[in-house]
Each structure stands twice: as structure tokens, then as C-alpha cells.
Amino acid sequence: MREVVLPRVGTVAAWRREARALAQDGVPAEAVLWSRGEGAQDLFAGARPVAAPREARRLSLPKAAIQTIETALCHSDPERFARAYRLILRLSAREVMWGDRADRDVRTLLEQAKAVGRDIHKMHAFVRFREVEGEGERRAFAAWFEHDHPCLERGAPFFAKRFGDMDWVIATPDLTARFTDGTLRFEETKAPERPPEDATEELWRTYYASIFNPARVMVKAMCAEMPRKYWKNLPEAELIPSLIDGAEARVRAMAEAQPAMVPDRRALALRDHAARVLAKPGADGPVAALAADLQGCTRCDLCRHATQVVPGEGPKEAALMIVGEQPGDHEDLKGRPFVGPAGQVFDRAAALAGVERSAAFVTNAVKHFKFLARGRRRIHQRPDAGEVEACRWWLDLERELVKPRVILAMGATAAEALTGSGKHIARRRGRAELLEDGTEMLLTWHPSYILRLQDKAAQARAEAELVSDLALARSLSEAGR
Amino acid sequence: MAKRTLSEKLAILSDAAKYDASCASSGGERRDSRDGKGLGSSGGSGICHAYAPDGRCISLLKILMTNFCIYDCAYCINRASSRVERARFSVEEVVHLTVEFYRRNYIEGLFLSSGIIRSPDDTMADMVRIARKLRQEEGFRGYIHLKTIPDASQELIDEAGKYADRLSINIEMPTETSLKELAPEKNAVGIRKSMADVRLRREESRTGKSWRGKRPARFAPAGQSTQVIVGADTANDRTILTQSSDLYASYGLSRVYYSAFSPIPDPARALPLKPAPLKREHRLYQADWLLRFYDFGVEEIGGTSGMLDLDVDPKTAWALEHREFFPVDVNRAPREALLRVPGFGTKTVGRLLAARRRGLVRYEHLKAMGAVMKNAQPFIVAGGWSPRGMLETEHLRARFAPPPEQMALF
């Protein structure tokens, strides 16, 4: 039996030398006892032939095999030297084909080479340098790394290629690699040297925490690629538990914050448009300027049938805005709001309530007349939700421009345009509602509804209610003046 | 506004960059710094230096130069109307961070993107300045990925390609209509044109031969890539994959990245509130692989609905729908047929073809070759193995799909 003790530094090269010599001597695989480590300084001390040499063997191996075998020799399995020697003898004797995974030695060796390859890859990934005091002009860095397999010698040349302009040390429990002035040396590690903290690590942790997306937590995927055993030497790893714990709360906070903060594009564009009108009001003031913008509106199909658009009218400083449904037959012809029969009802009620019409801003939810042509008559049609939505743009612009204290909505359509719902007018009227932007809104009957009522008593009651709502709107708009 | 510290800027500008999926640092020119005059190396396969708890790898310092932006793309956290905190790095700060992180082996290089400030040309010029300083003054030989800005001038793109390993421009949406809707300032034709330009430049720059006999491109040697956001509009998987296969074919892209739309803080109203399932993103990547390495056609993927099956991977889904194609005899079938077997990857097939020359391939050999036998079993015939009735059973799908779950009662 021959005993071969390989040195800790230069293990693979020593194995290659020994294996070649043993094969030359014709020593069979089972007659060698391989080990690595103690007493390795005196290389050839115990290497006296014990059994009589058999026939000398010439080694001939495929090129790919040599690379892979040398990688596999960096595995931690104590059997690796014997297996590799056995395999090269068998390969040379053509007892087995290289790459034949059906053979157990080949398969184990390929698997071990893969494991070592992975370990080296992880070393390239997870070594973390810390800057230390340098001796010469070159900056100096040091790292402590713990690997599964003694593969530093195979993995370190990568760092020499990458960090050619600095001096560095990588210490592992097994060996230490020192790169000084362009030369790479290895030595046995005497005591673990962990370099002190580095200020840049704090920046790195900041980056690590910020690049993490809490909306997609996949801890399993992370641990598969960055197993926990490496964490203790990674400066960023200490953040992981808190990042995972906090993720759910952050996502929830994101979801809850959504309704409150929607600076949607429409609102922005609206503010833009209003600002433009205010900036260049023209000769007749901003209200007229907005009315001019309104002329060309084709936001819905109503413009194709109506005579003209009917913009709101009133002073820009009005504290009270009154919103009706849409222009009627007369309004469409004259181009002014509330001038037909319904307008007369409105004027009468306003006078009773003490509302000065010229001081309020009077407008409609929809600015074009919608009708059904029947012979020589135009029959009023209620605007549908799409038309109300399309025209809300202009109503919102008027609100943006006038910024009234109180809005009086007359009828379901106006309520729909302002609050999104035109239901339950009877129940909602007479009480103030708060709009999204904080403006107070009152709901009341539409004057044409009063006109349509057949029952005289009901008509009188509704008209009285309209008057009282108008009066309430007036007093609210004057409050705090 | 008070001046922000480097750390605050880093937090804001890396937070803003995290919605870009790409982190590849592979391919490209082989460089190293053995000569002791520079810093860094690249070429070969990239390295993932860390993983975040979201399962994504961290290989590059992925930051925005600035998150101020004059564009208003609905899906983007940095759009003009968003109320996120804004910050801007100086050229020196980006260079400092890249070099210091690189020296400590935290990263493979830099992935620099930016919001658009002032004009596309101004923005691109600043980004090019960063890349130039890294390469020329710092002797940086690591990986640089620059996002090109739509509508930047040709000279700037040319210079960017000289310093960067990879250039990319995001196509963002699967269809032109949704791009118009969600990113009104961007235009699909402009994006495609700039991809076409990069391809042309790359082809022009292929002079000389590498030791492998290939002609490497000097211009953006690691190629170009793009990203599509999945689930922000209504496009189905086939539409998305059709666009990808067009892009691969037309502009020789290295990768198309799929990013499942995830809700961003301060979202625009035009967006869905719910995130797209991450599974969908995963299935799209699988399908993308089938297109590129497994000779599948777009029309073969996704069944009749045009959506990928979330329960079963696309290759298995195809196999379940085309049972007449199976079983495949591993000892006789051509490469194309072997590639269609669930559980066989390209490596397994390569090993299998090599092993066939040595003799009969038996069932137990296949596992050693890396095949996933649990998936392959019903679809193959091998030495000592026949699936018998397995292929015909109605329950075959149940072998692959996750077990049905009881719906929550409350």
C-alpha cells in the first residue's frame, strides 16, 4: 500500500504529479491511500514503492476530462483523489468512455465538478471586500469568505483578472490568497482575519433596501440562489428579515394611499386649461374667454343638431353657482341660459328668495340642447350619462374658474354631473352636501319639473321649496362674508 | 429644497429604477485588468452578486440618473404628474458609486437609465458623459448597460454604443394602441426605428474575427434588449409573444424582458389596481424560451384563448393537447421531436443524442442525463420503458397541474 499526502497549497498540481508518477510505475488504484494536509511539506518522503510495480501505463485522456477532473479534485469529499486516479487509469485503458453518465465514477465526478463549479461561482458572487490600510500607492482591500469546498486556488485567479489595479486578500478557513503588485500567492490560513467594517457598506445596504420591490416577495427564489449559509458574511443580508416583515405593510399602505392621492391627468389638464384662460382672458374677461373656447366643442354628438352652445354667465367672483340641466328651445335660439318658460319660473323664485341673478353664476350641466324633432316641434330629451360626462369637462372648468362658495344644483342631471348620482332628489333636497373639492352643494327641483306638474297644489308646494332652497343657498353663500 | 445627501439620492433613484427587470451582465467583449492599469473584467457569463427578497438578482448597480421627467406615461412611477420625491445625481456621483461598489465586489457594472429632463438629447448627453468618464478616466472595464432615450440624436447613440456593452430601449406595451393610451408622448415607430439603428450599427461594426471565428460587434457588444409591461392593458399572451418574436427576428434582440405590472405608489387612474399574477410573467418567460431554443412557433403556444395556462407550463400544455405526437422514442426520434418532450431541456437532448451513438439509451440513463423523469414519463419510449396507457388517461393533466384548492367559504 502506498500513502500519498498532498500539500494544502498546490493540492491539484501535486496530485497530477503524483498520479502521473504512480501510473508510470504501474501502481493500481486500490494500492494507493490518498490524503491532503499534515506533514505535506516533505512531498516524496513516504513515496517508496511497496508492492512490485506492474506494467507501466501511458496516460491518455481527453482534453475536456482533464479540466473537469481538476475541478472535481477541489471537492471536499475525501475519496476524490482515489476516484480520480482510478478513473484516469480506466479512461486510459478504454474501460470507460469520458462523459458516459451511466458509469458511476464518471457520474459522481461530474456531479462533484458541478458542485465545485457552483461553489466557485458563489465565491465570485459573494466575496465582499472591505477597504483596508494600503502600503504602497495601490488601494488595498480584504475579505473573509467561507466556502463548502477547498476551491480558493481555482477561484482566485478570477479576482486577479478583475481587480488588477488594487491589492487584495481573500482569507478562507482553508487557504488565504494574497494579490500584491500583480502577483497572486497562496498560503495556509493561520487564524481567521475578518477585516473591519467599511463605510461604503452603508450605501450598499441603502441600495439593497431600495431596489427591493415589496409588491413581489419571493423568499424561496432568493434562498435558492443565495443560501442562508452565506448570509453571515454579506453586509446586506442583515436587512433581509426586516424587509420581508415590512413588505406586506408597505404594499397595504400603497393600496390604501391610492384613493387619496390620484392627481389624475384629467385634473391636471383641467387646471392647465383654467390657468391658460386666466392668463390670457382677452378683452371681455375670463368668463367670455372660456365661452369662446366652448364654441368649438365636439365632445359629444349634440353639437351636430343644436343651434349653438350655451355657456354659463355671471361674474367670475360669484359666490353662488346655479346649475341647471341643459338649454331648452329658447335658450338654444338665444344662446343664453334660463330665458325660456323655465327661466321665468326661476327668475320669479329667485326674486322671492332675494337672489340677485346678475350676482350669481348661472349655467347648465350640459351646454347643448338635446331634442327629438317631431314635425315642426322640438321635444326636449334628457341628456344621457355619456353626454353629461363629456360636458362635465366644461362645468368643471367653470367651477375651476369661478370657485364658488356654494353650488345650487337644480334637478337630477345637475346632481349627476356634480356628484355622480342623480337619484333621490326628493330625499336629498334642502340639505347641503360636500363635493370632492370641499365646495358645499345644495340640491333642489328643476324649474321645468315644476312646470310639468299637473296638480296645482303640488306645483305651489314645489315652487315654495325652490324658493326656500334658493334662499338657503343665498344665505350660505353670504355666510362668512 | 435642502441639498440631499448621496445616500438619500441613492435611495430615491434606485427605488425609481427597480421596475426595470433586466439585470443581465453576460456576453459582450472579453476584457480584464491583468495589466494593472484599469479596473474590472467582463465577458462570459454574468454573476449575480446578491438577491433581494423579491427573488430578483442584483448584478448591476441599477439606478436612474434622475427621476425628474417631462413625460407622463401612466404606468411609470416617475411620470410628470406623479408625486414621488425627485432627485438627481451628478456625473461624478454615479461614477463614484459605480467604482466603489465594483471594487468591493458588490456588482458587475452599471445599468443606467433616466427620466427625461429638458430634452431627450440633453438627457442622453449626460448619460454618455457618465459612460465616457468611467471608461476613459477611471479605466473601468466592467459592464455598462445604457438605456437609450427615445428620440435622442444619432451621434449620441453612436457614442453610447462605443462605451456601453448593451443598449436598450423599452417598447413598454404589447400594442401600439395601448402605448398611445398609456404613454402618449412615446411613439412605437420611433422606438422600433432606434432598435433598427442599433442593429445596423452593430452589423457595421463587425470587422475582424475572434478566436472562435465569429465576427464580434464592437458597437454595444452585448447586444440590445427591451422590456414589455404585462397586465397593464388587456393584450393577451399571444399578442405579447408575437411582438417578441417579431422583435427577435427584426432587430436581433438579445432578450425581451417581461415585467408583470405591479401597482406603483401614487398610480394614475388609467391603470388597473390589481397586480398581474407573477405566474403569468413566469409562463411568458417559459414560452419565450420555447420560441428561441425549442423551435416552437408563436401560433403553437397558448391554445385557443391566446392566454398561457397558469397551472401548467407551456411545453406540457402543448404536449397535453397534442397527445397524438407522443410517445417519442428516445432512441430513434430526431432532435426536434426530443425537444418537444416535457422534462427534456436542450442540454439533456444534446447529451441524449451523444449517448445514442454509444448504445441503447435506457430509462435509468435519462435521469443521469438531467431529464426530469416525473414530467417526461408519459411521453417517451426508452429501453426498458413504455408509457402504456398513461398517455390516454383523462387524468394526465392532473399529474402536472397543482391540486385543486377549496375556495374560501367566507
pLDDT, one tens digit per residue, over B354-374 is 989 888 899 888 988 889 999
For the ranges A110-114, A202-206, B179-183, which has the lowest average pLDDT?
B179-183
Calculate Rg over the CA atoms of chain A. 44
Type and span of the H or E element at A415: helix A412-419
Total count of residues recorded for chain B: 410
Answer positive or negative: Cα dihedral of B364, B368, B371, B375. positive
The pLDDT value recorded for residue A472 is 92
Residue B84 domain-assigned (yes or no): yes
Could you give the percent of chain B with pLDDT greater than 70? 92
pLDDT tens digits for A300-314? 888 888 888 999 999
Claim to verify: residue B201 and residue B330 sit in the same structural domain: no
B309 domain-assigned: no
B172-194: per-residue pLDDT in tens? Answer: 888 888 888 888 778 888 888 88
**Domain annotation covers residue B71:** yes
Q: What average pLDDT score do residues A197-212 get?
A: 91
d(CA B260, CA A221): 16
Whether residue B181 is found in the same domain as residue B138: yes
Task: Output the pLDDT for position B409.
Answer: 60
pLDDT single digits (tens) B10-30: 998 998 888 777 778 777 778
Q: Is the pLDDT assigned to residue A337 strictly greater than 50?
A: yes
pLDDT for B36 equals 84
Note whether A127 contacts B: Cβ–Cβ < 8 A: yes
A-chain residues within 8 Å CB-CB of B355? 100-102
What is the band of B223 on the pLDDT scale with cuts at 50, 70, 90? confident
Listed by number, the residues of chain A in 388-447 with a beta carbon closer than 8 Å to a beta carbon of chain B are none
- What one-letter code names the amino acid at B217? A
* A52/chain B closest Cα distance in angstroms: 37
pLDDT at res. A359: 92
User: Where a domain ends, among B273, B300, B327?
Assistant: B300
pLDDT attached to residue A42: 46
User: What mean pLDDT is reported for chain B?
Assistant: 85
* CATH code, domain with B99: 3.20.20.70
pLDDT score of A45 more than 80? no
For residue A259, pLDDT beyond 60: no
Residue A421 C-alpha cell reads as 348620482
Q: Are B129 and B17 in a shared domain?
A: yes
- Among B29, B33, B34, B51, which would you mutate to test the A interface (most chain A Cβ atoms within 10 Å of its Cβ)? B51
- Cell numbers placing B269: 387612474
| Nearest partner of A122 among B304, B386, B49, judged by Cα | B49
B285, amino acid identity: Y
Selecting from B36, B358, B369 the residue whose C-beta is nearest the C-beta of A165 gives: B36
Report residue B380: phi and psi, to 5°.
-130, 160
* Closest to A70 measured CA to CA, from A112, A9, A102, A105: A112
**B213, part of any domain:** no
Boundary of a domain, candidates B266, B300, B334: B300
3-class DSSP assignment, residue A187: strand
**B43: left (phi > 0), else alpha (psi -120 to 50), else beta?**
left
Same domain, B325 and B270: no
- What's the average model confidence in pLDDT over A159-166? 93
pLDDT tens-digit readout, A171-190: 999 899 999 988 999 999 88
Q: Is B182 an 8 Å CB contact of chain A? A: no
pLDDT score of B277: 76
Q: What pLDDT is stored for residue B404 in this prediction?
A: 73
* Statement: residue B226 has pLDDT above 50: yes
- Please state the rounded mean pLDDT for residues B89-99: 94
| CA distance readout (Å), B69 to A277, A299, A416, B16, B66 | 26, 30, 36, 12, 8
- Please give the ipTM for the structure prediction: 0.83
Q: Which of B300, B327, B361 is the last residue of a domain?
A: B300
The residue extents of the domains of chain A are: 2-123, 127-188, 201-260, 266-478
Tell me the pLDDT tens digit for each residue of B134-150. 999 999 999 999 999 88
Same domain, B91 and B126: yes
pLDDT at B22: 74
Residue that wins the pLDDT comparison between B355 and A255: B355
Portion of chain B with pLDDT greater than 90, in percent: 31
Q: How many CB atoms lie within 10 A of CB A37?
A: 12
Among residues A97, A171, A98, A102, which one has the least CA distance to residue A130? A171
User: Which pTM does this prediction carry?
Assistant: 0.70
- The closest alpha carbon to B98, from B222, B22, B13, belongs to B13
Of A209-218, A472-481, B203-212, the range with the lowest mean pLDDT is B203-212
For B104, the closest of A200, A220, A263 (CB atoms) is: A200
Q: B359: domain range?
A: 314-400
In a domain, B1, yes or no: no
- Judged against a pLDDT cut of 70, whether residue B263 lies above it is answered with no
Average pLDDT over residues A364-386: 89
Residue type, B265: P
Q: Average pLDDT, stretch B312-341?
A: 91
Number of compact structural domains in chain B? 2
Are A265 and B61 a contacting pair at CB < 8 A?
no
**In the numeric block, which cell numbers belong to residue B406?**
377549496
Q: Is there a domain that residue B124 lies in? A: yes
> Which A positions 167-186 lie with beta carbon below 8 A of chain B?
182
* Residue B55 zone, left/alpha/beta (φ > 0; ψ -120 to 50; rest): left
pLDDT in tens, A69-90: 999 999 999 999 999 999 999 9
Residue A85 sits at φ, ψ, to 5 deg, of -65, -45
A446: Cβ contacts below 8 Å, ≥ 6 apart: A324, A325, A342, A410, A411, A412, A413, A414
Q: Flag whether residue B11 sits within 8 Å of chain A, measured between CB atoms.
A: yes
Distance of CA A12 to the CA centre of its chain: 48
Q: What is the mean pLDDT of residues B160-166?
A: 91
Does B387 lie in the same domain as B266? no
Question: C-alpha grid cell for residue B115?
Answer: 427620466
- pLDDT tens digit string along B272-311? 666 677 788 889 999 999 998 998 888 888 777 888 888 8
As a whole number of angstroms, the distance between CA B238 and CA B302 comes to: 7
Confidence check: pLDDT of A65 > 60: yes
Which pLDDT does position B271 carry in this prediction? 64
Please give the average per-residue pLDDT across A157-173, as a whole number: 93
What mean pLDDT value characterizes chain A? 87
E strand or H helix at A45, and its extent? Answer: none
Confidence of residue A166 (pLDDT cuts 50, 70, 90): very high
DSSP class of A184 = E
CATH superfamily name and code, A266-478: Uracil-DNA glycosylase-like domain (3.40.470.10)
Same domain, B357 and B279: no
**Average pLDDT, integer, range A214-230:** 87
- Whether B46 is covered by a domain: the verdict is yes
Query: Does one domain contain both B77 and B171?
Result: yes
Amino acid at position B298, single letter: V
Strand locations in A111-151 (E): 130-132, 140-144
Give the span between the Cα atoms of A412 and A422, in whole angstroms.
Answer: 4
Residues B292 and B354 reside in one and the same domain: no
Residue A476, chain B, CB below 8 Å: the answer is no
pLDDT value for B270: 64
Contacts of A251 in chain B (CB under 8 A): 263
How does DSSP classify residue A245? H
Q: Does B15 touch chain A (CB under 8 A)?
A: yes
**Residue the block writes with cell 426536434:** B336
State how far the Cα of B361 lies from the Cα of B383, in Å rounded to an integer: 6
User: Which of B41, B53, B105 minimises the CB distance to A240?
Assistant: B53
User: Using the beta-carbon criterion (under 8 Å), do B18 and A236 form an inter-chain contact?
Assistant: no
Q: pLDDT grade, residue A262 (50/70/90)?
A: very low
pLDDT over 70 percentage in chain A = 93
**Measured CA distances, B147 to A123, A425, B409 (Å):** 30, 56, 48
